[in-house]
Structure 1
């Protein structure tokens, strides 16, 4: 069995997919456009894509599942700044004085996700 997509319920699929496309650098499917009820962000194989589907109800509680991202080209703190500039909001800051920890952010529709330290940061502290 192969995990094909991670599906995210949302109010505005194209707008949220565009945000996540900018965050990840993965493209929105050429088949999708504003107003579509389902929009796919295509991840590089073998990573599953992110499928955004319009639902009528809004988010009301904390996510039961969320993404933990590890930057590959920036530090954790640089990545947090970049993603906040794209429209994310700081939710919980779990960074500690010795450089460890993570940051929990909210995407434009309030879904939680975390940014952890990069491999280089982990190697220099572990």
Structure 2
């Protein structure tokens, strides 16, 4: 099997896709536009895309599944600062004095995701 998409419920799929497109640098699919019930952020192969689907209810409890991200061009802390500038908020900060740990953030619709240390930080 091949994982095609990670699907995320959204109140406004296009706005949430714009946030995640800015986070990842991946484009929104051609033809997807504001008001659509489904909006895809297209990832480079073989990475699955992020598909945002309109639902009527708002998020009420903690996600049962979330995505862990590893920065590829910034440190963990630089990436957290960048994401905060895009509209993310810190949910839980698990950074440790020795540099290990991660940060759990919320996207604009309060879906949890984590930022771990970059590969270079983990091998240093």
TM-score by length of 2: 0.99
- Structure 1, unaligned runs of 5 or more: none
Listed one character per residue, the Cα deviations across residues 18-41 of structure 1 (whole Å, up to 9, x for unaligned) are 000000010001110001010000
Report what 1:110 is aligned to.
110
Listed one character per residue, the Cα deviations across residues 13-71 of structure 1 (whole Å, up to 9, x for unaligned) are 00000000000010001110001010000000001100000001111100000010000
Aligned residues: 124
1-structure distance, mates of 2:6, 2:74: 25
Is 1:121 aligned to 2:111, yes or no?
Answer: no
> Which SS does the other structure have where 2:27 is aligned?
coil
Which ranges of 4 or more aligned residues in structure 1 deviate by more than 2 Å? none
> Which SS does the other structure have where 1:114 is aligned?
strand
Is 1:14 aligned to 2:14, yes or no?
Answer: yes
Is 1:4 aligned to 2:12, yes or no?
Answer: no
Report what 2:51 is aligned to.
51
Is 1:78 aligned to 2:78, yes or no?
Answer: yes
**In angstroms, what is the RMSD of aligned CA positions?**
0.4
> Which SS does the other structure have where 1:29 is aligned?
coil
> Which SS does the other structure have where 1:8 is aligned?
strand
1-structure distance, mates of 2:3, 2:89: 29
- Structure 2, unaligned runs of 5 or more: none
Report what 2:99 is aligned to.
99
Listed one character per residue, the Cα deviations across residues 88-121 of structure 1 (whole Å, up to 9, x for unaligned) are 0011000000000000000000000000000000
TM-score by length of 1: 0.97
1-structure distance, mates of 2:2, 2:121: 31
2-structure distance, mates of 1:54, 1:21: 17
Is 1:25 aligned to 2:25, yes or no?
Answer: yes
